[in-house]
Amino acid sequence: MAENRIKIRKSTQLSKRKDYQIETTLHQGAVAIAGETVFTGKPFNPLQTIIQEEFAAISRWIVASGGIVGHLKSFLSAAEQQVMISSTGEQVTCRTSPSALFSQGKRSEGIQISIALIVFNIPQMDLEERLIDIFDRLNQEESEESQ
Amino acid sequence: MKILILGGFLGSGKTSVLLQLAQYLVQQSSGSSQTRVAIIENEIGQIGIDDKVLRGNGYEVREIFSGCVCCSLNSDLISGIQEIKSTVDPDWLIIEATGVAFPDKIAESLFTNLGLAARVVTIVDASRWQRIRIPLANLIEGQLNDAELILINKTDLVADLELMAVEADLRNLNSDAVIYQISGIKPMDEGLLKEIQHG
């Protein structure tokens, strides 16, 4: 029974890895997991807040699990603004700037979100689940039209 | 083509230093003789973040993802540099290594494979030095090898005594390097930027 549950969980995880283009690289003892997606119709600031909250929570979880935070980083880019969110453990910092697309007169559809988690001494699958959880939470954020 | 390798542990501030340095190099020139700067961005993950930040600041970036150019992706780096040299032939090539790379190995490979000399600048996060010093000793000590300059970053986040201990530790690990202190909350000193530029 337990084995079946694990299989289902892995199947779901594989499907979501594909949805969010999640890829993992292992190097020098580090697990680097990254994913990206585009959300349309969602407001920018709440998505940024979710990532900030999740980075803070993941940092706490990594330390409590005996791991070492390498670098948690995300880049959100929309038509008029972009922000780099970064954490190396204790603080989550954000650097906002005008979108390069906007200054170049180009259009961007939706909000492009890239997230990378680079961590030591944490199992790969556990970290992948945390990244999927972030994307799921972002996905569940209400769209601008429904607000 | 002058080559600079920016190394240092994950989150130490390599991209921030790169942005300031690239801006300085371009601003130093003027008119028809504008300095051309090419950037190679190496990231350990398959999806880049830092390249987006650099592009967001108006730079063209050649990215090499999903591994380190100091080992598994070394051939990608060599071919990338050859392509940049033959197409753009910039005055400066800045290579931002991954946070788990050994910059001296990159420099060694450039010299062995292309006959090109490179300067290594390693950035150290003062606020995390004590925490990662022991568990990741092999990596962070190795990142200091052959560094001509060591920039101790995030100095605003540590007390003076801790900063002195970090600097003493770094001097023990690389007695030949020139060590500077920098902070993310203020721009890098012009004297330091000149030191990086001219050596």
Residue-wise pLDDT for B71-91, tens only, equals: 777 888 999 999 999 998 899
Distance (Å) from the C-alpha of residue B72 to the closest C-alpha of chain A? 9
| Closest to A32 measured CA to CA, from A71, A74, A89, A85 | A71
Do A25 and B125 count as a contact with CB atoms less than 8 A apart?
no
- Report phi then psi at B88, rounded to 5: -100, -40
Those residues whose C-beta lies under 8 Å from the C-beta of residue A93, and which sit 6 or more positions away, are: A85, A86, A87
Contact A30 B53 (CB under 8 A): no
Please, what is the angle between helix A124-140 and helix A2-19, to 10°? 60
**Of B10, B47, B55, which is closest to A70 when you measure between CB atoms?**
B10
Residue B135 to residue A120, Cβ atoms within 8 A: yes
Task: Give me the tens of pLDDT residue by residue for chain A, a chain 147 residues long.
Answer: 333 344 445 666 667 777 888 989 888 889 999 999 999 989 999 999 999 999 999 999 999 999 999 999 999 999 888 999 999 998 999 988 776 655 555 556 799 999 999 999 999 999 999 999 999 999 998 776 665
pLDDT of residue B47: 83
**Cβ proximity of B102 and B141 under 8 Å:** no
A133 vs A114: CA distance, rounded Å: 14
Q: Is B197 left (phi over 0), alpha (psi -120 to 50) or beta?
A: alpha
CA distance linking residue B85 with residue B74, whole number of Å: 17
Query: With contact defined as beta carbons under 8 Å apart, do A67 and A122 qualify?
Result: yes
Domain B2-198 has CATH 3.40.50.300: yes
Query: What whole-number distance in Å separates Cα of residue A119 and Cα of residue A70?
Result: 5
Which of B43, B47, B55 to mutate to probe the A interface, most A CBs <10 Å? B47
- A68 and B135 in contact by Cβ < 8 A? yes
pLDDT of res. B16: 92
> What is the pLDDT at residue A106?
54
Q: Single out the residue of B111, B113, B108, B104 nearest to residue B150, CA to CA.
A: B104
Q: What is the DSSP string of chain A?
A: -HHHHHHHHHHHHHHHHHHTT-EEEEETTEEEEEEEEEE-S--HHHHHHHHHHHHHHHHHHHHHTT-EEEEEEEEEE-SSEEEEEEESSS-EEEEEEE-HHHHTT----SEEEEEEEEEESS-HHHHHHHHHHHHHHHHHSPPGGG-
B3-39: per-residue pLDDT in tens? Answer: 999 999 999 999 999 999 999 988 887 666 677 899 9
Residue of chain B minimizing CA distance to A67:
B135
Domains (ranges, CATH) in chain A?
Answer: 2-146 (3.30.1220)
Give the mutation candidate from A18, A55, A69, A73 for the B interface (greatest B CB count, under 10 A): A73
Sheet holding A111-120, edge to edge: A23-27, A30-39, A111-120, A68-77, A81-87, A92-98
Handedness of CA B113, B2, B39, B143 (dihedral sign): positive
Q: Chain A: give the shortest CA distance to residue B198, in Å.
A: 30
A44 CB contacts (<8 Å, ≥6 apart)? A76, A78, A81, A111
Low-confidence stretches of chain B (pLDDT < 50) are none
Closest of B103, B49, B135, B173 to residue A30, by C-alpha: B135
Instruction: Give the tokens for residue A89.
Output: 């453990």
Q: Residue B118 and residue B95: Cα distance in Å, rounded?
A: 10
So what's the ipTM on this one? 0.89
- Give domain limits for chain B: 2-198
pLDDT at site B170: 98
Cα A72 to Cα A85: distance, rounded to the nearest angstrom: 8
pLDDT (0 to 100) of residue A138? 95
CB–CB contacts below 8 A, A to B: 93
From the CA of A90, how many Å to the nearest CA of chain B? 10
